[in-house]
């Protein structure tokens, strides 16, 4: 796992053709808006979270965020334990996000 500042995260994401943005917040938090093109898997779902993560393509790069950066850091660690090689945590999470937020599709 690598912690990235917003600038690093946005820059690296823009250059990564293999990228997936992953939001690990709760449904209520997601209702307030997500980063464009994010998929949502709530880390508080416990084993269901792990089951859903295991369904993801391990060859992709995952740009993970939550509210403050704590849960997304935990999610990145779980992903590494499950064999994901490229998981990037957004430092400061959505609280410090300066970009646009959209409704979850």
pLDDT at 105 over 90: no
Can you give 74-104 as a three-state secondary structure string? HHHHHHHHCCCCCEEEECCHHHHCCCCEECC
Gap between the Cα atoms of 6 and 93, Å rounded: 8
pTM (two decimals): 0.95
Beta bridge partners of 23: 40, 65
Which residues are CB-contacts of 37 (< 8 A; sequence separation ≥ 6)? 21
Enter the DSSP assignment of 43: G
Structural domains for the chain = 2-98 (3.40.250.10)
Run of H or E residues at 11: helix 6-15
Q: Which residues are catalytic?
A: 66
Determine contact, residues 36/94, Cβ cutoff 8 Å: no
Gap between the Cα atoms of 5 and 9, Å rounded: 6
In tens, the pLDDT along 50-66 reads 999 999 999 999 999 99
In tens, the pLDDT along 85-96 reads 999 999 999 999
């Amino acid at each position: 796992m690598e912690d990235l500042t917003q600038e690093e995260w946005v820059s690296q994401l823009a250059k990564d053709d293999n990228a997936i943005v992953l939001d690990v917040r709760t449904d209520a938090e997601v209702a307030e808006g997500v980063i464009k093109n994010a998929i949502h898997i709530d880390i508080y779902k416990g084993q269901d979270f792990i089951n859903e993560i295991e369904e993801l393509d391990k060859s992709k790069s995952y740009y993970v965020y939550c509210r403050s950066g704590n849960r997304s850091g935990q999610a990145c660690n779980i992903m590494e334990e499950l064999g994901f090689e490229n998981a990037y945590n957004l430092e400061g999470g959505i609280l410090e996000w300066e970009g646009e937020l959209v409704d979850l599709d």
